[in-house]
Amino acid sequence: AQSVTQPDIHITVSEGASLELRCNYSYGATPYLFWYVQSPGQGLQLLLKYFSGDTLVQGIKGFEAEFKRSQSSFNLRKPSVHWSDAAEYFCAVQYGNKLVFGAGTILRVKS
Amino acid sequence: DGGITQSPKYLFRKEGQNVTLSCEQNLNHDAMYWYRQDPGQGLRLIYYSQIVNDFQKGDIAEGYSVSREKKESFPLTVTSAQKNPTAFYLCASSMGQGGTGELFFGEGSRLTVL
C-alpha cells in the first residue's frame, strides 16, 4: 500500500541548533515529494518540493531536503533553527492524482 | 490576491444536523480537494474533483458529500451519517492534469459537534 511515514511525532531542539525531520515513503517509481508546514489553526504552506534532477532541493525559510532513492527517504533539514520555526511539519508524496500525507512531526523550539 | 477561502472558520452544531463548509478559490485551478485533519493522523482525503461536475471519493468519504457546479467552488457537506464529525477540515486546490501536484490550502474550518 502507498504510505508515508514520519517516525518522529515530536521533536524538541534548542534555538540555533540544527534540525533534521525524517520522512520515508513506499512507491515503486520516483515520486513527486513535498514538505509542508502548518502553524496552529492554520492551513498548510509549501516549504519545498522534489520532482527530478538534483536530489538536494532548497526551499523557503532556509529549509532544504535531500531525496535518497536507495533509502526511500526525503528528510528535511535546517542548519540553525529559529523560534518561529515551531510548527507541525508534513511530508507528502504524490500518488497519481492524490497527495498522501504523513502523520506529521511537531517541532518545539526551546530558548 | 489569489487564494483559497474557507468559511466559516469555526462552526458548532448539534448531533444529527447536516453542516456545509464552503470553499472558494480564485486561482483558476482545475482540481480541488477536501482533507480532514485529526491530531496525530495527518491529513486524510475525503473527496476530490479534477473538473467541474465530476468528483471522486477519497479514503474516508463515508458520511460526507460534495458538489462541483462551478470551477471556483467545492462545498463539503458533513451529514448526520458521519459518526465522528468533530475535526479540522482543509480545502485545497491544484492545477490538475499536467500540473505538478502541488496543493494550495485554505486556512481551514474547525467543526465541533456538541
Determine, for residues A99 and B103 on separate chains, whether the beta-carbon distance falls below 8 Å: yes
| B75 prior amide bond cis, ω within 30 | no
Determine, for residues B42 and A46 on separate chains, whether the beta-carbon distance falls below 8 Å: no
User: Three-state SS for B88?
Assistant: strand
The per-residue pLDDT for range A25-83, each reduced to its tens digit, is 987 677 899 999 999 888 999 999 998 888 999 999 999 999 999 999 999 999 999 99
The per-residue pLDDT for range B49-108, each reduced to its tens digit, is 999 999 999 999 999 999 999 999 999 999 988 889 999 999 999 987 656 678 999 999
Partners of B33 on chain A (C-beta within 8 Å) are 99
Q: Does B101 touch chain A (CB under 8 A)?
A: yes
pLDDT at A40: 87
Is residue B36 predicted with pLDDT exceeding 90? yes
- Give the least confident one: A80-84, A91-95, B25-29, B44-48: A91-95
Distance CA B65, CA B49 (A): 12
Partners of B92 on chain A (C-beta within 8 Å) are 43-44
Distance CA B97, CA A58 (A): 25
Q: What value does the mean pLDDT take over residues B39-52?
A: 91
Q: How far is B12 from chain A (nearest CA, A)?
A: 16
pLDDT at A28: 67
pLDDT at A58: 96
Determine, for residues A99 and B90 on separate chains, whether the beta-carbon distance falls below 8 Å: no
